[in-house]
Amino acid sequence: MLRLAISGSTVALAIGIGGKLNPIPAAKEYIQTNCPGVPLINLHNRQGFLSPDEVIQAIEDIRDKVAEFMSAGGYISKVLLFYAGPNTVALSVGALFANWVPVQVFQFDEGRYIYQYTLNRELLKNVRDGRAHK
């Protein structure tokens, strides 16, 4: 099933948790403009207020879906992550990817996504060593 949903080694994942923002329209716009052909997969999208239990359930749901992608082996080499939600959940989402593949991180600003950085082993090592901006 997973291989049928992905047409190449790069995949875009959208996650929307709580609040009013649905990340899908802006993510589609970014992909169509900057990387046409990259498939966009909605990992999780639930708007509105979430209780603490619902937040944990959302993180577990995302965890299970990320694990499914990771089990696809070397088929995926890069992820474009379009996230809309609380920072507390973003930390958990970052931990779930666990340096599996490079993850391009985007910030939502004034109705569109803007590329910020690529989260990978090299960047994390440079941050730990105090060389991220050199």
Q: Is residue 123 part of a domain?
A: yes
Q: Is residue 134 part of a domain?
A: no
Q: Is residue 133 part of a domain?
A: no
Q: Give me the CATH number covering residue 67.
A: 3.40.1360
Total domains, the chain: 1
For residue 111, give its domain range: 2-128
CA 72 to chain centre: 17
Q: What is the pTM of this model?
A: 0.77
Q: Is residue 87 part of a domain?
A: yes
Rg of the chain in Å (alpha carbons): 15
Residues facing 80 on adjacent strands: 12, 104
Instruction: Going residue by residue through the chain, which has 134 residues, state the pLDDT in tens, using 9 for 90 and above.
Output: 344 344 458 889 898 887 777 889 999 999 999 999 898 988 877 777 888 888 888 888 888 888 887 776 557 778 899 988 887 788 788 777 776 778 888 888 888 888 988 887 787 777 777 776 65
Q: Is residue 75 part of a domain?
A: yes
Distance CA 101, CA 121 (A): 9
Q: Is residue 62 part of a domain?
A: yes
Q: Is residue 120 part of a domain?
A: yes
